[in-house]
């Protein structure tokens, strides 16, 4: 048990001012002397034992009437292990520009607001299961990346597993380092006021917020996430629930950003972000399988270097640009209500619409293999927008892509359907073929006279009517059965026109069937 006589001069000052909540500032005012990185060199005049801080927060010095006790300390070297695990803390804690000899353990504690601002904690902060009625403020602090005491060495630089914070978690400007493990481990975190990692936030190691509940959102504007090693995840938000995920304004991720099963009730934005994926290129830049969001802004600063996986994701509004999509995009099961592209092709009018369809089809073709759903989804969007012609172009592209997966005979039939009626999406082609073949037959059969099947019977020979009779397989015009050719070439042409007639009829019926099914 600490006694007042055992306290050093700065500790006595802290002890005396704690009941009234006044700040003890041990900084000299000389910038070189106050650099937190050099805190290990600060002498006894700036050193406060962690045990003294623990004793005060545990009620060692009772509060005075009419004042609110608060521990406020700046510019101190905190020696020893600041261990408040499981403590019931009734007072706020504010530590600014301090250097910690060892880590900080707040696991399982119940407390008021905690601020460790602009400080250096080489041993990291353990705050799993903490309950904070207020905010957790770690702005501009540097956590991890140093040599902590072997007894208190942390694999994770900042642990907030299953923590509950009624206010915000503020990590703006902080640098958190655990290159061989997890920079931040906050699975199950509930931060009602949101999590703020902007203003130059840097994480060396994986940031894990799996299953986190963030009604106030996650804000990482301009943050830098680095996952050292050949492969790895820079940010994991699997099954997280948030109002907003903001990765804009220069956000950089050197590693995979994983949003598997995340649910965002408002906006998910990567506007102006850079997604570099893993160094070996095997891990995706973005893995958002089964993700749900209302507004998804994917207008990146530049093209991702690795794949984007959106399989099974659902968004109401999708915003993209020419820089959004890498060479590989997984789109099977991706559902969207509307697309707003900022690419050059989508800003054109008239001719630009057709160009936009080509760009969208090329976007789908970036998905490995053949999957019909991305085509059906895109066609559905065009139909809802009132662009039925564009929808048919997309569905035609789907059939052409599917054809590449079929056996040789089926591919040959597919080519024939494509050339004749565009798989039913271009039925006017049948009229073009009918006109061309009618012209061919009329000119060819008009050069010679055929032989009658029965002498003196039948209508007079008419080349055009004879040709149409060959091309139309249903019914008859009385010409085909009344005449035949002794000329082998013309007879072969007649057989060929009969075959073409059946092909065109089959193709037209197929096209009508498709049109009825789509309507």
How buried is 238 (Cβ within 10 angstroms: 0-12 exposed, 13-18 middle, 19+ buried)? buried
Look at residue 249 and tell me whether its pLDDT is greater than 90: yes
Identify the pLDDT of residue 458: 66
Identify the pLDDT of residue 146: 64
Percent of the chain with pLDDT over 70: 91
Look at residue 227 and tell me whether its pLDDT is greater than 90: no
pLDDT in tens, 123-161: 999 999 999 999 999 999 999 986 544 434 447 999 999
Q: Identify the three-state secondary structure at position 252.
A: strand
CA geometry: angle at 399 spanning 394 and 404, to 5°? 125
Supply 122's token pair: 């080489």
Identify the pLDDT of residue 153: 45
Question: Which one is predicted more confidently, 93 or 343?
Answer: 93
Could you give the CA distance from residue 23 to residue 94 in angstroms, rounded to a whole number?
Answer: 9
Beta strands in 209-328 (DSSP E): 213-214, 218-219, 224-226, 233-236, 241-246, 252-254, 256-258, 263-269, 274-275, 286-287, 292-297, 308-309, 314-320
Choose the weakest-confidence range: 61-70, 272-281, 311-320. Answer: 61-70
479 is a domain residue? yes
* Mean pLDDT, range 79-86, rounded to an integer: 96
How buried is 61 (Cβ within 10 angstroms: 0-12 exposed, 13-18 middle, 19+ buried)? middle
Strands 82-83 and 99-100 come out as unpaired
Residue-by-residue DSSP string for 440-469: HHHHHHTTS-PEESSTT-SPPP-HHHHHHH
Identify the pLDDT of residue 463: 84
133 is a domain residue? no
pLDDT band, residue 305 (cuts 50/70/90): confident
Q: Are 299 and 279 in contact (CB under 8 A)?
A: no
Identify the pLDDT of residue 45: 95
Buried b or exposed e, range 269-308, using 16+ CB within 10 angstroms: bbbbbbbbbbbeeebbbbbbbbbbbbbbbbbbbeebbbbb
481 is a domain residue? yes
433 is a domain residue? yes
Q: Are 188 and 215 in contact (CB under 8 A)?
A: no
Question: Which one is predicted more confidently, 211 or 486?
Answer: 211
Identify the pLDDT of residue 180: 79
- In this structure, is the dihedral angle defined by the CA atoms of residues 143, 147, 153 and 154, taken in order, positive or negative? positive
495 is a domain residue? yes
Choose the weakest-confidence range: 26-35, 38-47, 342-351, 468-477. Answer: 342-351
Could you give the CA distance from residue 78 to residue 50 in angstroms, rounded to a whole number?
Answer: 6
Identify the pLDDT of residue 503: 75
Could you give the CA distance from residue 312 to residue 269 in angstroms, rounded to a whole number?
Answer: 18
Identify the pLDDT of residue 150: 44
Strands 92-96 and 110-111 come out as unpaired
166 is a domain residue? no
Q: What's the number of domains the chain is made of? A: 1
439 is a domain residue? yes
Phi, psi of 54 (to 5 degrees): -60, -45
Could you give the CA distance from residue 301 to residue 465 in angstroms, rounded to a whole number?
Answer: 64
Look at residue 8 and tell me whether its pLDDT is greater than 90: yes
Q: Are 132 and 164 in contact (CB under 8 A)?
A: yes
Identify the pLDDT of residue 493: 86
Could you give the CA distance from residue 244 to residue 268 in angstroms, rounded to a whole number?
Answer: 6
Could you give the CA distance from residue 361 to residue 405 in angstroms, rounded to a whole number?
Answer: 17
Domain boundaries, position 474 = 409-518
Q: Identify the three-state secondary structure at position 401.
A: helix
Supply 267's token pair: 């906006």
Q: Are 163 and 190 in contact (CB under 8 A)?
A: yes
395 is a domain residue? no
According to DSSP, the residues that pair with 73 across neighbouring strands are: 24, 95
Residue-by-residue DSSP string for 99-149: EESS-EE-TT-EES-EEEES-EETT-EE-TT-EESS-EE-TT-EEESS---
- In this structure, is the dihedral angle defined by the CA atoms of residues 451, 454, 460 and 466, taken in order, positive or negative? negative
**Over the chain, what is the mean pLDDT?**
88
């Amino acid at each position: 048990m600490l006694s007042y006589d055992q306290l050093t001069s700065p500790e006595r000052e802290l002890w005396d001012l704690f009941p009234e909540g006044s700040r003890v500032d041990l900084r000299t005012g000389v910038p070189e002397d106050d650099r937190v990185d050099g805190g290990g060199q600060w002498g006894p005049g700036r050193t406060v034992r962690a045990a003294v801080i623990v004793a005060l927060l545990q009620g060692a010095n009772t509060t005075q009437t009419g004042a609110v006790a608060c521990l406020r300390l700046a510019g101190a070297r905190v020696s020893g292990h600041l261990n408040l695990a499981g403590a019931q803390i009734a007072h706020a804690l504010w530590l600014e520009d301090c250097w910690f000899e060892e880590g900080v353990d707040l696991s399982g504690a119940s407390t008021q607001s905690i601020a460790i601002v602009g400080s250096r904690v080489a041993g990291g902060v353990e705050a799993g299961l903490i309950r904070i009625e207020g905010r957790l403020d770690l702005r501009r602090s540097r956590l991890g990346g140093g040599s902590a005491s072997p007894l208190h060495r942390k694999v994770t630089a900042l642990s907030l597993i299953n923590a509950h914070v009624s206010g915000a978690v503020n990590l703006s400007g902080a640098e958190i380092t655990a290159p061989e493990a997890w920079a931040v481990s906050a699975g199950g975190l509930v931060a009602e006021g949101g999590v703020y990692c902007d203003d130059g936030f840097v994480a060396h190691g994986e940031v894990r917020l799996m299953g986190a509940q963030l009604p106030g959102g996650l804000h990482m504007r301009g943050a830098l996430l680095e996952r050292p090693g050949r492969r790895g995840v820079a940010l994991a938000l699997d099954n997280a629930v948030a109002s907003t995920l903001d990765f804009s304004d220069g956000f950089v991720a050197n590693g995979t950003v994983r949003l598997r099963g995340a649910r965002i009730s408002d906006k998910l934005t990567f506007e102006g972000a850079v997604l570099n994926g893993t160094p070996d290129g095997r891990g995706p830049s973005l893995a958002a399988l089964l993700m749900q969001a209302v507004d998804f802004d994917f207008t990146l600063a530049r093209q991702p270097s690795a794949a984007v996986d959106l399989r099974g994701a659902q968004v109401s509004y999708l915003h993209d640009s020419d820089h959004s999509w890498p060479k590989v995009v997984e789109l099977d099961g991706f559902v969207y209500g509307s697309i707003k592209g900022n690419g050059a092709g989508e800003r054109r009018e008239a001719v630009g619409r057709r160009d936009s369809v080509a760009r969208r089809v090329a976007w789908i073709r970036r998905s490995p293999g053949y999957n019909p759903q991305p085509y059906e989804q895109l066609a559905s969007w065009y139909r809802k927008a009132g662009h039925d012609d564009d929808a048919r172009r997309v569905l035609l592209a789907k059939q052409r892509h599917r054809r590449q997966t079929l056996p040789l005979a089926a591919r040959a039939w597919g080519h024939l359907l494509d050339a004749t009626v565009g798989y039913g999406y271009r039925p006017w082609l049948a009229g073009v073929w009918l006109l061309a073949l009618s012209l061919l037959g009329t000119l060819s059969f008009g050069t010679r006279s055929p032989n009658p099947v029965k002498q003196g019977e039948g209508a007079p020979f008419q080349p055009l009517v004879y040709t149409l009779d060959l091309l139309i397989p249903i019914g008859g015009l009385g010409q085909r059965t009344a005449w035949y050719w002794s000329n082998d070439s013309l007879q072969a042409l007649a057989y060929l026109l009969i075959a073409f007639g059946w092909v065109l009829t089959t193709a037209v019926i197929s096209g009508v069937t498709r049109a009825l099914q789509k309507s």
